[in-house]
Copies of this chain bind each other. A is one copy, B any other.
Amino acid sequence: MSTLGRVKLSQGVEWGLHCATLLVLAPPGATIGRAILARHYGLPEAYLAKHLQAMARAGVLRATPGPKGGYQLARSADQITVLDVVEAIEGAAKPFLCQEIRQRGTGALPAEACRRPCAVHVIMEEAHQAWQDSLRQTTLADIAAKIPTWIRDRNQTLLTETP
């Protein structure tokens, strides 16, 4: 196994998905402060803020500024997929880097033979699409529905009681 490997999702993916799922439980119309979200999961608030802002920029969360401000879901929980959250945090760039090496070196193919992406490129692209499709199948509402009732009730209480 190579030590060159570096395919890692940011820890923000876990943070973002859990915080967004927590927001599903917030009372309708309520905004939840980032301090409450950070405390709930024991996260560094300033670093979590970057991820919450990224989710707001991507249209997953709605941010309300000010001392009483905070975050809420930007749309209904069944309209936000896991992929929406992951790409908000990580960006939507494709992970496979194609530098068209088939057009370089002693084996260089002429440009007219390279109008279509090569088989390697296509296969890597299809795998990325399979990953995206998988993450698109689940919404925040689906995740929230899997939370046991006692945890959901307790989280709802925590969200509304914390000042």
Contact = CB atoms under 8 A, between A and B. Distances in A.
Contact of A41 (B90, B93, B107, B155): B107
A82 interface: yes
A143 B119 contact: yes
A120 B120 CA distance: 31
A138 interface: yes
Contacts of A39: 105-106
Q: Which 7 A-B pairs have the closest CB atoms?
A: A42-B105, A42-B104, A5-B91, A2-B54, A5-B90, A127-B134, A40-B107
Interface of A: 1-15, 17-18, 21-22, 38-43, 50-51, 54, 57-58, 82, 87-93, 95-99, 101-102, 104-109, 113, 119-120, 123-124, 126-131, 133-135, 138, 143, 146-148, 151, 154-155, 158, 162
A146 to B, nearest CB: 5
Copies of this chain: 2
Contact of A2 (B91, B120, B127, B155): B91
A128 to B, nearest CB: 7
